[in-house]
Amino acid sequence: MYKRVLLKLSGESLMGDQSYGIDNERLEEYAQQIKEIVELGVQVGIVIGGGNIFRGLSGAAKGFDRYQGDQMGMLATVINSLALKSSLNNNGVKARVLTAIKMEPVGEFYSQPKAIECLENGEVVILSAGTGNPYFTTDTGSSLRGIEIKADVMLKGTRVDGVYTADPEKDPTATKFDEITYDEIYNRGLKVMDLTATTMCKENDLPIIVFDMDTPGNLIRVIKGEKIGTLVRN
Protein backbone atom coordinates (compact mmCIF):
# COMPACT_ATOMS: atom_id res chain seq x y z
CA MET A 1 0.00 0.00 0.00
CA TYR A 2 1.21 3.52 -0.76
CA LYS A 3 2.23 5.72 2.15
CA ARG A 4 1.98 9.13 0.45
CA VAL A 5 0.13 9.97 -2.77
CA LEU A 6 -0.54 12.99 -4.96
CA LEU A 7 -4.12 12.80 -6.19
CA LYS A 8 -4.81 14.82 -9.36
CA LEU A 9 -8.47 15.61 -9.99
CA SER A 10 -9.92 17.37 -13.00
CA GLY A 11 -12.12 20.39 -12.54
CA GLU A 12 -14.47 19.11 -15.26
CA SER A 13 -15.23 16.01 -13.20
CA LEU A 14 -16.59 18.23 -10.43
CA MET A 15 -19.37 19.36 -12.78
CA GLY A 16 -21.02 15.93 -12.59
CA ASP A 17 -23.93 16.06 -15.03
CA GLN A 18 -24.00 19.86 -15.01
CA SER A 19 -22.52 21.99 -17.77
CA TYR A 20 -20.74 24.36 -15.39
CA GLY A 21 -19.70 24.77 -11.77
CA ILE A 22 -19.63 22.28 -8.91
CA ASP A 23 -22.03 19.36 -8.48
CA ASN A 24 -22.51 18.80 -4.73
CA GLU A 25 -23.15 15.06 -5.12
CA ARG A 26 -19.89 14.56 -7.03
CA LEU A 27 -18.01 16.66 -4.48
CA GLU A 28 -19.43 14.52 -1.65
CA GLU A 29 -18.48 11.30 -3.50
CA TYR A 30 -14.90 12.53 -3.85
CA ALA A 31 -14.72 13.53 -0.18
CA GLN A 32 -16.01 10.11 0.89
CA GLN A 33 -13.44 8.31 -1.29
CA ILE A 34 -10.61 10.47 0.06
CA LYS A 35 -11.81 9.86 3.64
CA GLU A 36 -11.59 6.09 3.07
CA ILE A 37 -7.90 6.20 2.21
CA VAL A 38 -7.06 8.75 4.94
CA GLU A 39 -8.55 6.32 7.46
CA LEU A 40 -6.08 3.70 6.20
CA GLY A 41 -3.24 6.04 7.20
CA VAL A 42 -2.38 7.23 3.69
CA GLN A 43 -0.95 10.77 3.45
CA VAL A 44 -2.83 12.63 0.71
CA GLY A 45 -1.84 15.68 -1.32
CA ILE A 46 -4.39 16.88 -3.87
CA VAL A 47 -4.18 19.08 -6.96
CA ILE A 48 -7.48 19.92 -8.64
CA GLY A 49 -7.99 21.69 -11.95
CA GLY A 50 -10.32 24.61 -12.64
CA GLY A 51 -11.84 23.74 -16.01
CA ASN A 52 -15.37 23.60 -14.59
CA ILE A 53 -15.10 27.36 -13.93
CA PHE A 54 -12.46 28.79 -16.27
CA ARG A 55 -9.65 27.44 -18.40
CA GLY A 56 -6.86 29.79 -19.43
CA LEU A 57 -6.19 28.18 -22.82
CA SER A 58 -9.81 28.25 -23.94
CA GLY A 59 -10.08 31.80 -22.60
CA ALA A 60 -7.09 32.79 -24.76
CA ALA A 61 -8.85 31.30 -27.78
CA LYS A 62 -11.79 33.62 -27.07
CA GLY A 63 -9.62 36.73 -26.91
CA PHE A 64 -8.39 36.81 -23.33
CA ASP A 65 -4.75 37.66 -22.83
CA ARG A 66 -3.07 34.29 -22.10
CA TYR A 67 -1.19 35.63 -19.09
CA GLN A 68 -4.33 36.96 -17.41
CA GLY A 69 -6.40 34.01 -18.64
CA ASP A 70 -4.06 31.62 -16.85
CA GLN A 71 -4.27 33.73 -13.70
CA MET A 72 -8.06 33.41 -13.87
CA GLY A 73 -7.64 29.65 -14.27
CA MET A 74 -5.42 29.54 -11.17
CA LEU A 75 -8.11 31.33 -9.16
CA ALA A 76 -10.67 28.79 -10.42
CA THR A 77 -8.54 26.00 -8.91
CA VAL A 78 -8.60 27.82 -5.58
CA ILE A 79 -12.42 27.94 -5.62
CA ASN A 80 -12.52 24.17 -6.26
CA SER A 81 -9.92 23.56 -3.56
CA LEU A 82 -11.94 25.50 -0.98
CA ALA A 83 -15.07 23.54 -1.93
CA LEU A 84 -13.24 20.22 -1.55
CA LYS A 85 -11.73 21.31 1.80
CA SER A 86 -15.19 22.24 3.08
CA SER A 87 -16.61 18.87 2.00
CA LEU A 88 -13.73 16.98 3.60
CA ASN A 89 -14.16 18.95 6.84
CA ASN A 90 -17.88 18.12 6.84
CA ASN A 91 -16.89 14.45 6.64
CA GLY A 92 -14.58 14.75 9.63
CA VAL A 93 -11.34 14.92 7.64
CA LYS A 94 -8.72 17.55 8.49
CA ALA A 95 -7.73 19.44 5.33
CA ARG A 96 -5.71 22.52 4.51
CA VAL A 97 -5.50 24.64 1.34
CA LEU A 98 -2.03 25.86 0.37
CA THR A 99 -1.85 28.32 -2.52
CA ALA A 100 0.97 28.97 -4.99
CA ILE A 101 -0.01 32.67 -4.94
CA LYS A 102 -0.13 34.67 -1.72
CA MET A 103 -3.77 35.17 -0.80
CA GLU A 104 -4.11 34.88 2.96
CA PRO A 105 -6.58 34.40 4.57
CA VAL A 106 -8.14 32.44 1.69
CA GLY A 107 -5.31 29.91 1.88
CA GLU A 108 -1.80 29.67 3.28
CA PHE A 109 1.14 30.32 0.98
CA TYR A 110 2.68 27.06 -0.21
CA SER A 111 6.08 25.84 0.86
CA GLN A 112 7.41 22.32 0.58
CA PRO A 113 8.35 21.99 4.28
CA LYS A 114 4.90 23.20 5.37
CA ALA A 115 3.15 20.78 3.02
CA ILE A 116 5.17 17.81 4.28
CA GLU A 117 4.66 18.84 7.92
CA CYS A 118 0.89 18.94 7.40
CA LEU A 119 0.90 15.55 5.64
CA GLU A 120 2.88 13.99 8.47
CA ASN A 121 0.33 15.44 10.92
CA GLY A 122 -2.45 13.57 9.13
CA GLU A 123 -3.96 16.50 7.23
CA VAL A 124 -5.08 16.30 3.62
CA VAL A 125 -3.16 19.04 1.82
CA ILE A 126 -4.88 20.66 -1.16
CA LEU A 127 -2.27 22.35 -3.33
CA SER A 128 -3.98 25.07 -5.36
CA ALA A 129 -3.26 27.81 -7.91
CA GLY A 130 -1.12 25.54 -10.07
CA THR A 131 2.56 26.47 -10.02
CA GLY A 132 1.71 30.14 -9.50
CA ASN A 133 2.92 30.89 -13.03
CA PRO A 134 1.09 31.27 -16.34
CA TYR A 135 1.77 28.92 -19.28
CA PHE A 136 1.79 25.88 -16.97
CA THR A 137 -1.14 23.49 -16.64
CA THR A 138 -2.46 21.90 -13.45
CA ASP A 139 -0.99 18.63 -14.79
CA THR A 140 2.44 20.27 -14.55
CA GLY A 141 1.48 21.67 -11.15
CA SER A 142 0.57 18.19 -9.92
CA SER A 143 3.83 16.71 -11.28
CA LEU A 144 5.84 19.43 -9.55
CA ARG A 145 4.00 19.09 -6.24
CA GLY A 146 4.11 15.30 -6.38
CA ILE A 147 7.89 15.42 -6.75
CA GLU A 148 8.26 18.10 -4.07
CA ILE A 149 6.22 16.27 -1.43
CA LYS A 150 8.06 13.02 -2.26
CA ALA A 151 4.87 11.16 -3.18
CA ASP A 152 5.14 7.44 -3.92
CA VAL A 153 2.81 7.80 -6.90
CA MET A 154 0.58 10.27 -8.72
CA LEU A 155 -3.01 9.08 -8.94
CA LYS A 156 -4.67 10.78 -11.91
CA GLY A 157 -8.41 10.50 -11.42
CA THR A 158 -10.32 10.94 -14.69
CA ARG A 159 -13.60 9.99 -16.35
CA VAL A 160 -11.80 7.21 -18.25
CA ASP A 161 -10.59 3.97 -16.67
CA GLY A 162 -7.01 4.16 -17.98
CA VAL A 163 -4.80 4.94 -20.95
CA TYR A 164 -5.99 3.74 -24.36
CA THR A 165 -4.47 3.48 -27.83
CA ALA A 166 -6.93 6.25 -28.83
CA ASP A 167 -9.74 8.24 -27.21
CA PRO A 168 -12.24 5.51 -26.18
CA GLU A 169 -15.07 8.05 -26.20
CA LYS A 170 -14.43 8.66 -29.91
CA ASP A 171 -12.90 5.38 -31.15
CA PRO A 172 -14.76 2.16 -30.21
CA THR A 173 -11.76 0.07 -31.34
CA ALA A 174 -9.41 1.69 -28.81
CA THR A 175 -7.72 -0.78 -26.47
CA LYS A 176 -6.54 -0.17 -22.91
CA PHE A 177 -3.01 -0.51 -21.57
CA ASP A 178 -2.53 -2.16 -18.16
CA GLU A 179 1.01 -0.71 -18.09
CA ILE A 180 2.88 1.66 -20.37
CA THR A 181 6.23 3.45 -20.20
CA TYR A 182 6.77 7.18 -20.56
CA ASP A 183 8.76 6.53 -23.73
CA GLU A 184 5.83 4.63 -25.27
CA ILE A 185 3.55 7.58 -24.47
CA TYR A 186 5.93 9.91 -26.32
CA ASN A 187 6.36 7.56 -29.28
CA ARG A 188 2.64 6.90 -29.67
CA GLY A 189 1.71 10.56 -29.15
CA LEU A 190 -0.75 9.70 -26.37
CA LYS A 191 -2.18 12.57 -24.35
CA VAL A 192 -2.07 11.31 -20.78
CA MET A 193 -0.82 14.69 -19.56
CA ASP A 194 0.89 17.56 -21.31
CA LEU A 195 4.51 16.98 -22.34
CA THR A 196 6.02 19.18 -19.61
CA ALA A 197 4.20 17.25 -16.88
CA THR A 198 5.03 13.87 -18.43
CA THR A 199 8.72 14.77 -18.78
CA MET A 200 8.93 15.89 -15.15
CA CYS A 201 7.48 12.58 -13.95
CA LYS A 202 9.81 10.62 -16.23
CA GLU A 203 12.95 12.49 -15.17
CA ASN A 204 12.11 12.25 -11.46
CA ASP A 205 10.85 8.65 -11.64
CA LEU A 206 7.36 9.45 -10.33
CA PRO A 207 4.93 6.73 -11.51
CA ILE A 208 1.37 7.63 -12.49
CA ILE A 209 -1.77 5.54 -12.21
CA VAL A 210 -4.57 6.76 -14.47
CA PHE A 211 -7.96 5.50 -13.27
CA ASP A 212 -11.69 6.25 -13.21
CA MET A 213 -12.29 8.40 -10.12
CA ASP A 214 -15.99 8.82 -10.90
CA THR A 215 -16.78 5.25 -9.84
CA PRO A 216 -17.10 5.27 -6.03
CA GLY A 217 -14.71 2.82 -4.37
CA ASN A 218 -12.06 2.97 -7.09
CA LEU A 219 -9.65 5.18 -5.13
CA ILE A 220 -9.33 2.73 -2.24
CA ARG A 221 -8.99 -0.15 -4.72
CA VAL A 222 -6.02 1.61 -6.34
CA ILE A 223 -4.45 2.29 -2.94
CA LYS A 224 -4.77 -1.38 -1.99
CA GLY A 225 -2.97 -2.40 -5.17
CA GLU A 226 -5.82 -3.73 -7.27
CA LYS A 227 -4.99 -3.77 -10.97
CA ILE A 228 -7.42 -1.13 -12.20
CA GLY A 229 -6.51 1.77 -14.46
CA THR A 230 -3.13 2.07 -16.19
CA LEU A 231 0.29 2.28 -14.57
CA VAL A 232 2.68 4.68 -16.33
CA ARG A 233 6.35 4.31 -15.36
CA ASN A 234 9.94 4.31 -16.63
As annotated, the binding site includes 8-11, 50-51, 55, 70, 131-138, 158, 164, 167
Q: Hey, CA dihedral for 51, 53, 54, 58, is it positive or negative?
A: positive
Classify 182 as helix, strand or coil.
helix
Q: Where are the beta strands (DSSP E) in 81-152?
A: 95-99, 108-109, 124-128
Distances (CA, A) of 227 to 89, 167, 210, 222: 30, 21, 11, 7
Q: Exposure string (b/e) for 173-200, b if CB count within 10 Å is 16 or more?
A: eeeebeebebeebeeeebebbeeebbeb
C-beta of residue 67 within 8 angstroms of C-beta of residue 76: no
DSSP assigned state of 136: -
Contact 56, 69 (CB under 8 A): yes
CA R_g for the chain: 17
Which residues make up each annotated binding site for UMP? 50, 70, 131-138
Report the C-alpha gap between 169 and 147 in whole angstroms: 31
Show binding-site residues for ATP: 8-11, 51, 55, 158, 164, 167
